[in-house]
Amino acid sequence: MYAFPTTSLAPRRKQPKCIKPPKCTSKYDIKFKDIAIYILERKMGASRRYFLMELARKKGFRVEPDLSEYVTHVVSEKNSGAEVLEWLQAKKAGSIPNVAILDISWFTDCMGAGQPVEIERKHRLTLQKICVCKSPSPVVPSRVGVSQYACQRKTTLDNKNTLFTDAFEILAENYEFRENERSCLSFRQAASVLKSLTFTIARMADVDGLPGFGDHIRAVMEDLIEDGESSKVSEVLNDEVYRSLKLFTTIFGVGLRTAEKWHRLGIRTLEEIKSNENLKFSKMQIAGLQHYEDILGGVRKAEADAVAMVVRDAVWTFLPDAVVTLTGGFRRGNKTGHDVDMLITSPIQGKEKELLHKVINLWKKQDLLLYHTIHESTMDEDNLPSKRVNLLDHFQKCFAILKLNQHRGEISSCDGPHDSGGRGKRIWKAIRVDLVFCPFEQYAFALLGWTGSRQFERDLRRYASHEKKMMIDNHALYDKTKKVFVKCESEEEIFGHLGLEYIDPVERNA
């Protein structure tokens, strides 16, 4: 956006007849010979400075290790112009004529553009002010080098930018409802990038150099920075269509199509849904309405652990060697979730295929099942995905609602009165559970896929295909160049084959 031809970029000064080659010969070719950058270590630290120098060199910039007569641009972070000048003078370099004294934002703009950008007013450090920023960020912003792929970022649950990410999630959801996939993805992508930052965005310059921040997104951020709220978000939250679709799709079993139909029929509330005699509900929707409040309330970690124990008990009754793993958001360290995702496999080949129906029969006898639906595997005999389309992947799975005894922290067969009438006496809670059964040799892929987050998985697939000419899904990793499937027994191996640094599940909260 800020890219200009390189010839007009050097600060106005008498050009040296010729810029000599850098003292320290870089292993990268210099593309932009008119300028030479010097990065100030002061307030930045040696390791970050080194990182930025290497980054710029990789991109074809000439970066001087020492302050010399060749330097045209001095870049610093969190220093005022006066502080930089004082430092230059102490180095007896204050007399370097017309060297541009710049904020790091110029550097990050250059890195983002892949070439030197024109120096704007906002980039220059003024000599009068103590600090250029309106409200200085408390932590050194390390936005340079933030990857566009979530699988190359570490994203813990410590989100420092909830003001922005909450707003983006609402806008993205609204775009999803309106089937504007592109805008939906842009906002989800931007939210995901912000979640990975170790500092809070305090001013617009803080997003310079971050991938995927177009004008549309910036406009929303500007509002949030200026006013603490966004008029676009308020508009969406007050929009009748959004409110209906949001409410209806929180019912288990209700998708966008059904929600739209109900809205078109003039329905606006849950009561209107329940009392409308003309509506026909699927079994899933009946269960969803019956246990609406429990499911909407979500699942706590202790409850998820209790469910995991019940699943293990049932599975191990039939196959003591089975591997039963809690995945989804809870594996990423979440304290709450909307469901409990369980992945089940067996080291004895094919044994996992017999499990689901046995477990369901056991739970029926124990009166633990409030609802369940089974999707049989759509893999061929040799465990290769068939061409038939399925949800997310081809594994055998079960979407269920189980009873959880809240007092004892385990699923109970003690049935209490259903719904609002007897809620006070009821000792169980309805919990949404997904069971997924996979062949042992696909376990690592299934585990990676079912751990999420969705954005992380999406970017992993995008990264594999765009950067590595590979394809990854919940079943396998395929190398398109070599035309071979790459065997992997662990998540670490998958990351390794993709040339990625291993990211721990708790850092996949993209």
Residues 59, 154, 338, 462: which binds ligand DCT (CB under 6 A)? 338
Q: Give the nearest distance from C-beta 351 to ligand DCT in angstroms.
A: 24
Residues 6 or more apart whose CB falls under 8 angstroms from that of 108 comprise: 143, 144, 208, 209
Q: Give the nearest distance from C-beta 339 to Mg ion in angstroms.
A: 4
In the chain the first and final C-alpha atoms are separated, in Å, by 26
Token pair 């920023």 is at which residue? 133
Q: Give the nearest distance from C-beta 294 to ligand DCT in angstroms.
A: 15
Report angle CA 215, 220, 225 to the nearest 5 degrees: 115
Specify the stretch interacting with Mg ion by CB under 5 A; choose among 117-125, 193-201, 268-276, 332-340. 332-340
Q: Is 249 near ligand DCT (CB under 6 A)?
A: no
Distance between CA 406 and CA 300 in Å, rounded?
11
Q: Is 341 near Mg ion (CB under 5 A)?
A: yes
Specify the stretch interacting with ligand DCT by CB under 6 A; choose among 195-203, 343-351, 446-454, 482-490. 446-454
Distance between CA 143 and CA 212 in Å, rounded?
12
Indicate the pairing of strand 73-76 with strand 299-300: unpaired
Q: Is 457 near Mg ion (CB under 5 A)?
A: no
Token pair 């009873």 is at which residue? 403
Joined tokens for residue 351: 């044994």
Q: How far is CA 256 from the centre of its chain?
A: 23
Q: Note if 339 is an active site residue.
A: yes
Q: Is 335 near ligand DCT (CB under 6 A)?
A: no
For the chain, give the longest Cα–Cα distance: 90
Q: Give the nearest distance from C-beta 206 to ligand DCT in angstroms.
A: 28
Active-site residue among 109, 339, 393, 459? 339
Q: Is 457 near ligand DCT (CB under 6 A)?
A: yes
* Closer CB to ligand DCT, 22 or 333, in the complex: 333
Q: Which does 196 bind (CB under 5 to 8 A by kind): ligand DCT, Mg ion, none?
A: none
For the sheet containing 100-103, what is the strand order? Answer: 61-63, 32-39, 73-76, 100-103
Distance between CA 441 and CA 487 in Å, rounded?
8
The burial class, CB within 10 Å (0-12 / 13-18 / 19+), for 37 is buried
Q: Is 208 near Mg ion (CB under 5 A)?
A: no
Secondary structure of residue 175 in the 3-state scheme: helix
Residues 112, 337, 385, 505: which binds ligand DCT (CB under 6 A)? 337
Active-site residue among 208, 341, 459, 473? 341
* Closer CB to ligand DCT, 268 or 338, in the complex: 338
* Closer CB to ligand DCT, 426 or 508, in the complex: 508
The contact mask relative to ligand DCT for 389-428 (x = CB under 6 A, - = no) is ---x------------------------------------
* Closer CB to ligand DCT, 225 or 323, in the complex: 323
Residues 112, 209, 452, 505: which binds ligand DCT (CB under 6 A)? 452
Q: Which does 452 bind (CB under 5 to 8 A by kind): ligand DCT, Mg ion, none?
A: ligand DCT
Q: Note if 434 is an active site residue.
A: yes
Using only the alpha carbons of the chain, give its radius of gyration. 28
Q: Give the nearest distance from C-beta 327 to Mg ion in angstroms.
A: 8
Specify the stretch interacting with ligand DCT by CB under 6 A; choose among 36-44, 45-53, 68-76, 335-343. 335-343
Residues 328, 385, 439, 505: which binds Mg ion (CB under 5 A)? 328
Sequence-separated contacts (24+) of 500-505 with Cβ below 8 Å: 500/151, 500/152, 500/463, 501/152, 503/151, 503/154, 503/456, 505/331, 505/332, 505/333, 505/451
Q: How far is CA 355 from the centre of its chain?
A: 33
The burial class, CB within 10 Å (0-12 / 13-18 / 19+), for 125 is buried
Residues 187, 453, 477, 488: which binds ligand DCT (CB under 6 A)? 453
* Closer CB to ligand DCT, 57 or 458, in the complex: 458
Q: Which does 302 bind (CB under 5 to 8 A by kind): ligand DCT, Mg ion, none?
A: none
Active-site residue among 239, 305, 313, 434? 434
Peptide bond into 453 cis (omega under 30): yes
Q: Are 247 and 270 in contact (CB under 8 A)?
A: yes
Distance between CA 104 and CA 8 in Å, rounded?
20
Size of the site for ligand DCT (CB under 6 A): 14
Specify the stretch interacting with ligand DCT by CB under 6 A; choose among 3-11, 223-231, 281-289, 444-452. 444-452
Q: Which does 346 bind (CB under 5 to 8 A by kind): ligand DCT, Mg ion, none?
A: none
Indicate the pairing of strand 32-39 with strand 61-63: parallel
Residues 6 or more apart whose CB falls under 8 angstroms from that of 441 comprise: 383, 487
Residues 6 or more apart whose CB falls under 8 angstroms from that of 209 comprise: 105, 108, 109, 111, 112, 143, 144, 146
* Closer CB to ligand DCT, 253 or 337, in the complex: 337
* Closer CB to Mg ion, 339 or 352, in the complex: 339
Q: Give the nearest distance from C-beta 130 to ligand DCT in angstroms.
A: 45
User: What residues line the site for Mg ion (CB under 5 A)?
Assistant: 328-329, 337, 339, 341
User: What residues line the site for ligand DCT (CB under 6 A)?
Assistant: 328-329, 334, 337-339, 341, 392, 449-450, 452-454, 457
Active site (catalytic) residues: 339, 341, 434
